[in-house]
Structures are given as C-alpha cells and as structure tokens.
Amino acid sequence: METIIGPGPLLCAAEGGHEGVVKILLERKDVNPEEPDTEYGETPLSRAVQGGHEGVVKMLLEREEVNPDRMDIWIRWTPLLYAADGGYEGIVKMLLEREEADPDHVDTVFGWTPLSFAAKEGHEGVVKILLEQEVNPDHLDTKNGRTPLSLAATGGHVDMGALLEREDVNPGRADKSRKTPLIWAVDKGREEVVQILSKREGAKSCRADTDYTQALLSRAVEQRNDRAGNMFLQPANIHPATPDNENQIPPSLPPPSKR
C-alpha cells in the first residue's frame, strides 16, 4: 500500500490555532517545531501566522530553534510578510522582537517589502510599527517601481500620515508607468486621497509630463471621476480640455480659452 504523506500533527494544530494541542506536541522530544510541509515548505510558525493565531505564534517563537525569518519554498515569503499582509499587529510585534526577523525582506513575486504589503492593504497600525524599524519607507518594487505610498494611494487608503511624515518619502515619485501616487489616486477616483496628496509639496512633480496627464484626465472624466480630476487640476496651470499626444480631448468639457 502506498504511503500518503501529509502535514504533520504540529502543522495541523498550528494552522487551526489549537493552542492546547500545540503545547502538548511541543513538549515531546520527537516533534520538530521547524518541520515544514512537503509541498510548500511552510513551517508551523508560517501556518500559525497566516491564520492570525497569536497564542500559537507566541509558543513557537519561545523555541530557540524556530527561525522567524524562514522562507517557504512556494512564494519565498517569510512569516513577517504574511503577518504584514494580514494586518496582524500583535504578531508583527512578536516577530520583530526576534533579531533574526528582517523587517525589510523583499519578496520574489512582486518585489515588495512587509511595508509595501501593509500599505497596499491599508493596515495603518502595521505600517506604523514597521516604520519604527530600519526599513526603506520609499522602497521601489523590482517589478513596477511602486512605492508603499503609491500602493496605499491606489487602494484609497487615506490613513497615510505615518508615511507622509517621513522626510525620506517622496510623494511625487513616479513608477515605471510614469504614475505618481497622486496620479494613481486620480485614475482610481480616490477623492479623499487626492485631497490629501494634492496639498502635499512635491506630490505633483510629474505634471511636467503634460501629454500623459491629459490622457489620464480624459480617462478620469470618462469614468465619471470628474470630481477627482477637478481636484487634481485646481492648483495646476493645465486646462482639462487640452488635447493629449493622441489629440484626444476629455468629453463634455469646453476647449481652452484664447487669450
């Protein structure tokens, strides 16, 4: 009969958040608290973090042989990346208490750091915790050149004070597609974010690229995001009906006046 290899008891208990069972298993000398599953290479700690099970995470981190920075073999994520993505503030704090945990680890899928994931999902508490560590708050991902602020603006997350207060965060930094955080906010119709960023010095630095800006505003109006588009234009010297580089003019808008 063929033997079926599946996850061990500790993996199952950690994934389910069964603290009592985990405690019993960890007391046994024949149980390896670092044993990964055979398919994805996830450890009991990784499984517990993904489920947000603080009690289990605490018990596992008390074991010296448990590596808080061990990557799985599936997407090469560390426990801290999972915790930041899930918004688990308590777990993030526990992981960072271990010196081995890298607060600025870059994943191999998107090129994002824990701060990038937390900002994208709008986990303000996690963002604040990570900014207290030695991290790059203006990290450019390796795939698209997006910063944590850019990801937060795209998602419409208005609680960006912790990022905007940092002097080493450039609010006007454009990614590989030439979009700044403000342009992303306009493009997605994130009115509250537009209001915040349009008041920030340096957030509009990409406006020199007039052709691209006009193309963006055309799309904003077409998508009925005209309020966001108007907020973007108010402080600028750009008329919303100026043709872009494809000679397209935003619909339902008058042409620029002649002086």
Show which of 54, 84, 102 is a domain's final residue.
102
CA separation for the pair 221, 207 (Å, rounded): 18
Q: Looking at the 3D structure of the chain, how many domains does it have?
A: 2
Give residue for tokens 């808080």. 68
The per-residue pLDDT for 255 is 42
Cβ(63)–Cβ(26) under 8 Å?
A: yes
- Find the DSSP H helices in 114-175: 114-121, 124-131, 148-154, 161-164
CATH code of the domain containing 72: 1.25.40.20
Query: Do residue 147 and residue 248 come from a single domain?
Result: yes
Q: What is the pLDDT of residues 68-125, one digit of tens each?
A: 999 998 889 999 999 999 999 999 999 999 999 999 999 998 999 999 999 999 999 9
Task: Look up the domain containing 97 and give its range.
Answer: 9-102
Return phi, psi of residue 181, to 5°: -55, -40
Together in a domain, 178 and 221: yes
Q: Say what the pTM is.
A: 0.81
Work out the pLDDT band at 178, boundaries 50, 70, 90.
Answer: confident
Residue 242 CA, chain-centre distance (Å), reads 35
Which of 78, 102, 126 is the last residue in one of the domains?
102
Radius of gyration of the chain (CA): 23
Whose tokens are 């990038």? That residue is 116
Helix axes 226-233, 210-222, angle to 10 degrees: 150
Predicted pLDDT of residue 222: 56
In a domain, 120, yes or no: no
Domain assignment present for 112: no
Q: Domain check: are 48 and 143 in the same one?
A: no
Instruction: Locate 104 and state its tokens.
Output: 């600025």
Residues 225 and 144 in one domain: yes
- Three-state secondary structure call for residue 193: helix
Neighbouring residues of 4: CB distance < 8 A, sequence distance ≥ 6: none
Are 70 and 143 contained in the same domain? Answer: no
